[in-house]
Amino acid sequence: MDSQSLVAAAAHRHDGHMDRPALADFLRRRREALKPRDVGLLDGSRRRTPGLKREEVALLVGMSTDYYSRLEQQRGPQPSEQMVAAIARGLRLTPDERDHLFRLTGHNAPRRALATHHVSPALMRVLDRLDDTPALVLSDLGETLAQNAMATALLGDETRFTGLSASAVYRWFTDPGARSRYPQRDHDHQSRIQVAALRASVSASGDSERGRAIVSELLATSQEFAAIWELHEVRNRFDDHKTLVHPEIGEIEVDCQALFTENLSQTLLVLTASPGTEAAEKLALLQVVGHQTFA
């Protein structure tokens, strides 16, 4: 990109239209700056170009290779805001780079706040390297922002939920199926720590409209939530040890390690089992079968 184009890109303002040349150049340069090992892929010995291949980025983003290639070739249609957010996660963009990408595609950049759905690049780098144990990235409101294959096999795809239902706290009190991953004996305890963690998040974020909306809706629809909310308990939602229930394998006891971002808005939760235990054997079985349906 020449100096004149750089100046134009730097001065780019959102006007509802895509800056196709700048977008194509930005995507290509970010793709070439990523190494396979940065996203949990093998380097290989027969790569002819630097960085990732287009098909690898498309796989990370969850779009077709043809669609992504057309964006880099200045031929693609304007992606939706959801697709732009997925591209930002796939390319491991920083918040500033993510905002730039939104503007290049003709969208307003998401408002910066304590809580954000843009996964911390640092947490994503760690998640990419975890393939032998369940791991997932959560927002402070209990929304699953990213999860590895093992976490999907153990918990199901928790990134598919939208609206208030994206919050595990909200689902816990509105969807009976959300409790199926925990033994019945632990439900009361889970209810308490879910509410206590939500109060901690709402208190920390201050002006979080989303957090207030979850609380308001649950107070209106769940007597159980309202009763626990009145206790004014505040605590971290993660126990050091918990028991989860897989629909085919059964109960699995796991240890929980949590890695937080500096502002505590996101958490990488890693679930492990002590070597040689029955739980470790079950996780090993889970890794082999993935989320296939058992016979």
Taking only the tens place, the pLDDT of each residue in 62-98 is: 899 999 999 999 998 999 998 998 899 889 887 778 8
Is 258 in the same domain as 178?
yes
User: What type of residue is 185?
Assistant: R
Q: With cut-offs at 50, 70 and 90, classify the pLDDT of residue 282.
A: very high
Q: Please say if the pLDDT value at position 160 is more than 70.
A: yes
Q: Give the pLDDT of residue 9.
A: 43
**Among 77, 104, 131, which residue terminates a domain?**
104
Is 160 in the same domain as 232?
yes
Q: Does 113 fall in a domain?
A: no
Written as six digits, the tokens of 170 are 């909200």
Q: Does 166 fall in a domain?
A: yes
Q: Give the pLDDT of residue 111.
A: 63
Neighbours of 44 (CB within 10 A): 8
Q: Give the pLDDT of residue 112.
A: 55
Domain CATH for 46: 1.10.260.40
Is 174 in the same domain as 235?
yes
Q: Does 14 fall in a domain?
A: yes
**111 vs 10, more confident:** 111
Q: Is 105 exposed, middle or buried (0-12, 13-18, 19+ CB in 10 A)?
A: buried
Q: Please say if the pLDDT value at position 203 is more than 80.
A: no
Closest to 198 (Cα-Cα) out of 188, 189, 210: 210
Is 46 in the same domain as 71?
yes
Total tally of structural domains belonging to the chain: 2
Mean pLDDT of 249-266: 89
Q: Does 152 fall in a domain?
A: yes
Is 98 in the same domain as 127?
no
Four-CA torsion 119, 125, 128, 130, nearest 10 degrees? -110
Mean pLDDT of 116-121: 77
Q: Does 225 fall in a domain?
A: yes
**Strands across the sheet containing 144-147:** 144-147, 135-139, 266-272, 250-260, 241-246
Stated pTM of the model = 0.64
Domain CATH for 205: 3.30.450.180
Q: Does 251 fall in a domain?
A: yes
Mean pLDDT of 164-177: 95
Tens digits of per-residue pLDDT, 16-28? Answer: 788 899 899 889 9
Is 171 in the same domain as 238?
yes
Mean pLDDT of 147-174: 94
User: Range of 84's domain?
Assistant: 3-104
